[in-house]
Copies of this chain bind each other. A is one copy, B any other.
Amino acid sequence: MNAVEFSAWSAAQLARVEQALSRWVIADAPAGLGQAMRYSVLDGGKRLRPLLVLAASEAVRGHAEAALRAACAVELIHAYSLVHDDMPCMDNDVLRRGKPTVHVQFGQAQALLAGDALQALAFELLTPEGDMVPPALQARLCASLARAAGANGMAGGQAIDLASVGKTLTEPQLRAMHRLKTGALLQASVRMGALCGAGVSGAAQAALDDYGAALGLAFQVVDDILDVVADSEALGKTAGKDAAADKPTYVSLLGLDAARALADELLAQAQGALDASGLGTVDRLRALADMVVKRSN
């Protein structure tokens, strides 16, 4: 798959995801809550997680409606985590995707509720009534997402992150933190896409899990690099905030060159896992891994 083909595929998927999110995150929730939810989710973000779900689902010829719902559900979890993470009691950030953060725009209480409601909406999307999505698949998707979002996934990683401000972490400790904080949801995106296919072999599933793990960590390493080398305008969020907050990062731990080398090594691991998967249609997953490591924001 060449760059032009990937970019056309990606644009088409992003359009589907934006449309679906706009349809499902309705504005008519009471007392302004719907507006705060839409503000949190729409018109912004790279949509990396939805693209991973959709690419993984295509790799296994997955159930299209289930994959679209899973793509949106994962993005809602990601969006809620950003809303809560930006709040004053957490990272206290005022800028996200080039806009005021949700609590700046709508107040802290509404931001808290919008995040809570987005998490619930993710599980609602995964469980439509009727037979639009096979019920057993609905249940497996909920299980994967719940585990990845929870105490031994994203939320647990954030707790480690909070506890490690001002501390020196070893590389394995930093890796363990990121495996949960960002890795779990990225890996779950790939896994949920793969769940949408019937009869994927255990070996292929394991290879996709390896791909997701390598990609998840690569994503974080690159994030740490960009926090140092990019400016706030390109990032759409406050640059240099990790160093300012005295947070351990791959760059602070390894230095910039070694962090770049690690990102390349993880990219090679991710691509190697795709080679080993035995699946024929992994070009889009391949291109997404490239995109994660070579992005500039």
Chain A positions near chain B (C-beta within 8 angstroms): 26, 29-34, 37, 80-81, 84, 87, 89-90, 107-110, 112-113, 115-117, 119-124, 126-129, 135-136, 138-140, 142-143, 145-147, 149-153, 155-160, 162-164, 180
Residue of B nearest to A152 (CB): B29
Q: How far apart sit A37 and B152, CA to CA, in the bound complex (Å)?
A: 12
Contacts of A87 in B (CB 8 A): 89, 112
Contacts of A121 in B (CB 8 A): 146, 150-151
Check A155 against B117 for contact (C-beta < 8 Å): yes
Check B123 against A159 for contact (C-beta < 8 Å): no
Contacts of A117 in B (CB 8 A): 149-151, 155-156
Q: How far apart sit A37 and B145, CA to CA, in the bound complex (Å)?
A: 19
Check A124 against B143 for contact (C-beta < 8 Å): yes
Residue of B nearest to A103 (CB): B89
Q: How far apart sit A175 and B30, CA to CA, in the bound complex (Å)?
A: 14
Number of copies of this kind of chain in the complex: 2
Check A127 against B155 for contact (C-beta < 8 Å): no
Contact of A30 among B32, B110, B123, B157 (CB under 8 A): B157
Given contacts A139-B127, A159-B110, contact A120 B150 (CB under 8 A): yes
Contacts of A119 in B (CB 8 A): 116, 119-120
Check B112 against A89 for contact (C-beta < 8 Å): yes
Minimum CB–CB distance from A4 to chain B (whole Å) comes to 39
Contacts of A151 in B (CB 8 A): 26, 29-30, 33-34, 37, 117, 120-121
Given contacts A143-B127, A180-B30, contact A155 B120 (CB under 8 A): yes
Check B32 against A163 for contact (C-beta < 8 Å): yes
Given contacts A120-B119, A123-B123, A127-B143, contact A109 B162 (CB under 8 A): yes
Given contacts A109-B89, A151-B37, A152-B29, contact A145 B123 (CB under 8 A): yes
Check A159 against B120 for contact (C-beta < 8 Å): no
Residue of B nearest to A33 (CB): B159
Given contacts A138-B142, A145-B123, A146-B120, contact A159 B113 (CB under 8 A): yes
Q: How far apart sit A126 and B150, CA to CA, in the bound complex (Å)?
A: 14
Check A156 against B120 for contact (C-beta < 8 Å): no
Contacts of A155 in B (CB 8 A): 29, 33, 113, 116-117, 120
